[in-house]
Structure 1
């Protein structure tokens, strides 16, 4: 007779383990420590075998009987339930090893060391927030394009179209890595090209008209904040590096005698050389008297850390500039690129090298920190002189810049 719930609950441990039969080969084994284990005794190919069905009370008598019946059905088909369990377990381990999340994290671990930390953080955050909850446990080889599209639509519907495009891109990178490592047949995300509406990219606000640049420069010189932020504001248009690279500048990277600043570009992990015009050297020497004994050129409130990444834009807003429509810390790069080419007639390849952009030449060389260095030294000094000329001009329709 099947065991009743009362019999199961009241089964107390004894000095030695004992068994309570439930029927059809299943029994409850009660250990000397009080544990209660469901077991199935059966014969396969003439040998007596045991199959664990679970632990009471996590597995109830009803569930244990269901597992027993399933094992009996396998036996009727000539299949050893113990061997089938090992196969299923191995299959589950393989599925977990080839899940989208496992493959994606493996791909990320290989790529992250060559990325800027901020870039890596954004990618893993997108995967963890927008992909893994829905596709993470799925075997990557079994994922179909509609499943990926559902992920992208979910991101798009919350108003983050640009993020949806980036999620699409990252999923494609993971699928292609899975193909390369033999865990998927193809990149199914490629079937979704055109499924999302184009993202409208907005450029960093910038000032490119000389008359407006003149007013901006005079406002920067008149900034009423701290001397450190004022120096950063005055150097930003002179050097036109990325805002994060400026605020993270360290004194050890500067050679003021040779008028050079050499640092590693965050986006490309390549060394970049910035020739310093006389005006930039003057500002840096003034600032060196204040912060030269510290690590960072522009320390924040905590002297061991650089100034905030929002400091430049916050200062611009304090001066009355709209950082969404007029100028941002990043906008000084666009300002320099436009005026250097259109007004001062410097070659675009010289400008792009100074901006530390990857622009392959005829020989396929993407970037060399010393390429066009003489031209770049001359350009940076001419640029600084031009900005001084603009500041010296008064506003008026007759001024020529």
Structure 2
């Protein structure tokens, strides 16, 4: 099959799996169609120096670049190849060179470059997110703003671990008791230095030496969570019988206890990340990006009860990218954090249970209840925490998967039994 013009491309329909269709006129040029409806132009060419190798370059999305421009771009690339130049190598060199002016620049300048790079990668990468949320951007600016006010005018190679630690300790010791902000400021400062070292902008990531020297981000008051079976049963019943919200919000709320992931990961759940055949949901936790204590990928076994709920949701949002897609005119493509926060307040559980609290509820009950009694390692793996074995190696995303599959089904059966028992009581 070959397409000749934009009308032909627009007529290409989505399938269960992504596929490519050749574009007439230029050898190796094609359009790739994804299950979520996205379409991108690609060019595959013969490597000028390595026989048999045919690299592939993404030339743009159909909404961002015209077919005429794509063909011109493809012809220019093929012209370079014919002269013995690898276009990918040129592109990579341009990426390196664009930061050359920041060699040993000030912290303020490099931190802004880090932020700009993160924004650009989110738009161009595979995360499928439209952009970082406004709250995320504000938190970056808050944390790095503290650091820039204190050391923003210092050159990267002149900054020491002691200087970074002093700034972060001052944040944690201020009158607001900002433990979390101080720890997060240290983390983001380390990210800025990592960005700089990788691009040759400074000699060393001195922020690494501050690890473990501050009060951790989760110290202080814990988020509210119910961990007693009878109280948890009452909560499940109240959630199940509550009807004063949209179907999408109610389904998200009632699915949360079964999977006990972070609110942001549940709310941004994508249909394409669900493996229906193996009953698995695999994704990259948003809060795990760059965190040394959390996994970058998480596999959540889906109990039969969860599969049934998700099948029911397909008639509502199956045509959308996100399972819990926002139906309002909003920049957020899925339901907001405030939506779940408010629903627990309306249920009467303010200061007793929050969306994030189901992680603590599940871990405690899974380890303590006689009919469950799962180990700390298995529950921590399912929570997406990075842990080490006795030899110092980190468990990977599929470790203990068979046990976790059984655990998640046992957990679903357990909380169903709790809810049913609670409803039968007078």
Give the TM-score normalised by structure 1.
Answer: 0.62
Name the structure 1 match of 2:402. 374
Aligned to 1:348, which of 336, 357, 376? 376
Name the structure 2 match of 1:388. 416
Alpha-carbon distance, 1:95 to partner = 11
Name the structure 2 match of 1:126. 142
**Partner SS state of residue 265, structure 2:** helix
**Partner SS state of residue 337, structure 2:** coil
Aligned residues: 303
Name the structure 1 match of 2:276. 256
**Partner SS state of residue 307, structure 1:** coil
Aligned to 1:205, which of 224, 243, 268? 224
The answer to whether the aligner puts 1:318 opposite 2:346 as a matched pair is yes
User: Structure 2: how far apart are the matches of 1:239 and 1:302?
Assistant: 26
Name the structure 1 match of 2:9. none
1:184-199 mapped onto 2 (5 Å cutoff): none
- The worse-fitting range, judged by mean Cα deviation, of 113-122 and 260-269 is 113-122
Contact 1:205 1:326 in 2 (8 A): yes
- The worse-fitting range, judged by mean Cα deviation, of 301-310 and 231-240 is 301-310
Aligned to 2:240, which of 221, 224, 233? 221
**Partner SS state of residue 267, structure 1:** helix
User: Structure 1: how far apart are the matches of 2:216 and 2:322?
Assistant: 43
The answer to whether the aligner puts 1:237 opposite 2:257 as a matched pair is yes
Cα RMSD, aligned residues only: 4.2
Alpha-carbon distance, 1:259 to partner = 2.3
Does the C-alpha gap of structure 1 residues 177 and 338 become closer, same or farther in structure 2, counting only changes over 3 Å? same
Alpha-carbon distance, 1:108 to partner = 6.4
Aligned to 2:182, which of 164, 172, 196? 164
Name the structure 1 match of 2:287. 267
Render the CA deviation track for 1:254-291: whole Å, top value 9, x for unaligned: 23343222222223353322221121122112222222
User: Structure 2: how far apart are the matches of 1:222 and 1:136?
Assistant: 53
User: Structure 2: how far apart are the matches of 1:318 and 1:358?
Assistant: 35
Give the TM-score normalised by structure 2.
Answer: 0.59
**Partner SS state of residue 313, structure 1:** helix
Contact 1:96 1:102 in 2 (8 A): no
Contact 2:386 2:394 in 1 (8 A): yes
Does the C-alpha gap of structure 1 residues 280 and 124 become closer, same or farther in structure 2, counting only changes over 3 Å? closer
Render the CA deviation track for 1:11-45: whole Å, top value 9, x for unaligned: xxxxxxxxxxxxxxxxxxxxxxxxxxxxxxxxxxx
Alpha-carbon distance, 1:302 to partner = 3.0
**Partner SS state of residue 320, structure 2:** coil
Name the structure 2 match of 1:286. 312
**Partner SS state of residue 286, structure 2:** coil
User: Structure 2: how far apart are the matches of 1:376 and 1:185?
Assistant: 40
Contact 1:229 1:311 in 2 (8 A): yes
The answer to whether the aligner puts 1:100 opposite 2:107 as a matched pair is yes
Aligned to 1:300, which of 303, 316, 326? 326
Question: Which protein has the larger Cα radius of gyration, Structure 1 or Structure 2?
Answer: 1
Does the C-alpha gap of structure 1 residues 321 and 142 become closer, same or farther in structure 2, counting only changes over 3 Å? same
Unaligned runs of 5+ in 2: 1-100, 290-295
Contact 1:171 1:189 in 2 (8 A): no
Does the C-alpha gap of structure 1 residues 306 and 172 become closer, same or farther in structure 2, counting only changes over 3 Å? closer
Unaligned runs of 5+ in 1: 1-93
1:146-161 mapped onto 2 (5 Å cutoff): 149=166, 153=170, 156-157=173-174, 159-161=176-178
Does the C-alpha gap of structure 1 residues 96 and 307 become closer, same or farther in structure 2, counting only changes over 3 Å? same
**Partner SS state of residue 310, structure 1:** helix
Contact 1:123 1:170 in 2 (8 A): no
Does the C-alpha gap of structure 1 residues 361 and 377 become closer, same or farther in structure 2, counting only changes over 3 Å? same
User: Structure 1: how far apart are the matches of 2:233 and 2:138?
Assistant: 37
User: Structure 2: how far apart are the matches of 1:156 and 1:295?
Assistant: 43
Contact 1:277 1:384 in 2 (8 A): yes
- The worse-fitting range, judged by mean Cα deviation, of 226-235 and 205-214 is 226-235
Alpha-carbon distance, 1:252 to partner = 1.7
Contact 1:211 1:395 in 2 (8 A): no
User: Structure 1: how far apart are the matches of 2:281 and 2:218?
Assistant: 37
**Partner SS state of residue 278, structure 2:** coil
Alpha-carbon distance, 1:295 to partner = 1.6
Render the CA deviation track for 1:319-347: whole Å, top value 9, x for unaligned: 1111xx21111111111111111111112
